[in-house]
Structure 1
Amino acid sequence: MSETGSARFAGRFLDPSLIARTYRDPLAWMSLATDLVPIAAILVFGWGATPLVALYWLENLIIGAYTILRLGGAAVVSFINLATALFMIPFFTFHYGMFCYGHGLFIRSFAGGEGNGGGAAPMDLVTWALGSGDGMLWFVGLIIVTNAVFFLVDYIGRGEFRRTDPPAEMFAPYGRIVTLHVAIILGAFIAIATDERLLGVLILIAIRVLFGIVLSLLRRMKLDGGLGKLAGKFAQPV
């Protein structure tokens, strides 16, 4: 994509009609509400940065599980997709699992005195993340339900599984991990520079919310048929 084309594409996100169409869909509001719910965790349960980044890490695991379901759904369309999925599902499970494992170790280490400790096995990281903040299971459950709704409505109900590209499905979740990684570093830097931990936490949430809004806009563009293959790679909305 040329520089002019990239600028034109980026400008579409500021199109009022696109924003209006996006948020006429109740699912877009559901996605936004799910992204904003961590604010309640801060206010009600007194969450700091550690449980927040642990929640976002657990969200990546949930996204990975739904990606496996999406790959499995694509497998029923054709023999080529079936053969591709039989290779990609175990490959993705291992590769994405190791990616999340390394990121989980980084997050727990980054938590320092607030949440460090425990074994290095994958389930030790999951146990640590689930126990890092009060009410964590409720928030994880909400993310699971939100993803289930999108999976049933878009992927199954709208027949996305018939049109999807298995390689694109496999690579789609990695952008979330990169976004979270950047958000953690940026939020921590600002928190340290300003000596305001709450500010760093709010920045983490703001980056995640902005990322979710972009995904919702991409989803709308995909549903409108105006994004082509690019949407198939990035327009998973939650």
Structure 2
Amino acid sequence: MSINNQPQRNLFSDPSLWLLLFSNIITIFFATKEGWNLSTIMWIYWFQNITIGLFNFIRILQLKEFSTKGFKINGQPAQPTQGTKKFTAFFFLFHYGFFHFVYFIFLLTGTFTKSYGQSLNSIEFKYIFITALIFFINHLFSYFYNRPRDTKKQNIGSLMFYPYARIIPMHLTIILGSFFISALPFFLVLKTFSDAVMHIIEHKVLRKGEE
């Protein structure tokens, strides 16, 4: 049966959710086993953010049916046209990209972690690459698995702002964890929970609201 004909799938039968949980569990395992510092963890989640933004940009461009309810451009109600879709996609790409460029500079200069005496030399680049790749594969699978439903019945405004709503609780959790380094694994578990909840909201709640 086509995926398109299964709009009411059981939540726990969603392999993209389980793969997301697995990706986070792998990160927690390595972080605990190898005693990662905060810099390494923040770099990993920076790469995850970039991956989330990339696929969200593609999702906006590939929308076939979408709503513009409550969405305005230059103070005017937006119309559900191809022009609106392209403008929204590239505006998101610029804004989200600039936000993460600034974030990148902070990470590169150690602004977030200098109080812990951490530097680029203390970062586990090998593990950053491995876990970033795992998260990329996770979001790539999620994109293709959910694409038949994600290309229709979406509110383009909600879709554009969703990545920000997803990464804010993720990083608040990590930053709070930085004040309790010994309890960082616990905060990584909370981050995993936040990640899963926002994934469900993205692919279940927001879509349901447009049906």
TM-score normalised per structure 1 = 0.67
| Aligned residue number for residue 47 of structure 1 | 36
Which structure is richer in relative contact order (CA contacts within 8 A, separation 6 or more)?
2
CA distance in 1, matches of 2:60, 2:170: 24
Distance 1:219 1:96 in 2: 18
**2:182 is matched with which residue?**
198
Paired residues of 1:31 and 1:146 also in contact (CA < 8 A): yes
Distance in 2 separating the partners of 1:110 and 1:170: 27
Matching of residues 8-27 of structure 1 within 5 Å: 21-27=10-16
In 1, Cα distance between equivalents of 2:158 and 2:203: 18
Amino acid at match of 1:29: W
The 10-residue stretch of structure 1 (42-51 or 137-146) with the greater mean CA deviation from structure 2: 42-51
CA positional deviation for 1:57: 1.3
Task: Give the distance between the partners of 2:187 and 2:209, measured in 1 at CA.
Answer: 31
Q: Secondary structure at the match of 1:42?
A: helix
Q: State the Cα distance separating 1:104 from its structure 2 match.
A: 3.2
Say if 1:45 and 1:135, in contact at 8 Å, map to a contact too: no
Partner Cα distance (1:219, 1:147) in 2? 13
What's the offset of the Cα at 1:100? 1.7
1:165 maps onto 2:167 in alignment = no
Structure in which a larger fraction of residues adopt helix: 1
- TM-score (normalised: structure 2): 0.75
Q: Identity percentage over the alignment?
A: 22
Match of 2:177 in 1: 187
Work out whether residues 39 and 118 of structure 2, in 8 Å CA contact, stay in contact via their aligned partners in 1: yes
Q: Is residue 177 of structure 2 the alignment partner of residue 177 of structure 1? A: no
The Cα of 1:161 is off from its aligned counterpart by 0.4
User: Could you tell me how far apart the structure 1 residues matched to 2:203 and 2:11 are?
Assistant: 5
Alpha-carbon shift at residue 80 of structure 1 (Å): 3.4
1:153 to 145, 156, 165: 145
Match of 1:109 in 2: 111
Query: 1:133: Cα distance to partner?
Result: 3.4
Structure 1 unaligned regions, length at least 5: 1-20, 118-127, 192-196, 233-238
Following superposition, the deviation at residue 136 of structure 1 comes to: 1.6
The answer to whether structure 1 residue 228 and structure 2 residue 209 are counterparts is yes
Q: CA deviation at 1:146?
A: 0.8
Tell me, yes or no, if the aligned pair for 1:60 and 1:176 is still in contact at 8 Å. Answer: no
Question: CA RMSD of the aligned region, Å?
Answer: 3.0
Shift in Å, 1:77:
4.7
Matches within 5 A, 1:116-127: none
Matched, 1:71 2:63: no
Q: CA deviation at 1:22?
A: 2.1
Tell me how far 1:132 sits from its aligned partner.
4.5
Q: Secondary structure at the match of 2:40?
A: helix
Q: Which residue of 1 aligns with 2:191?
A: 208
Which runs of no fewer than 5 residues in structure 2 stay unpaired?
A: 1-9, 67-78
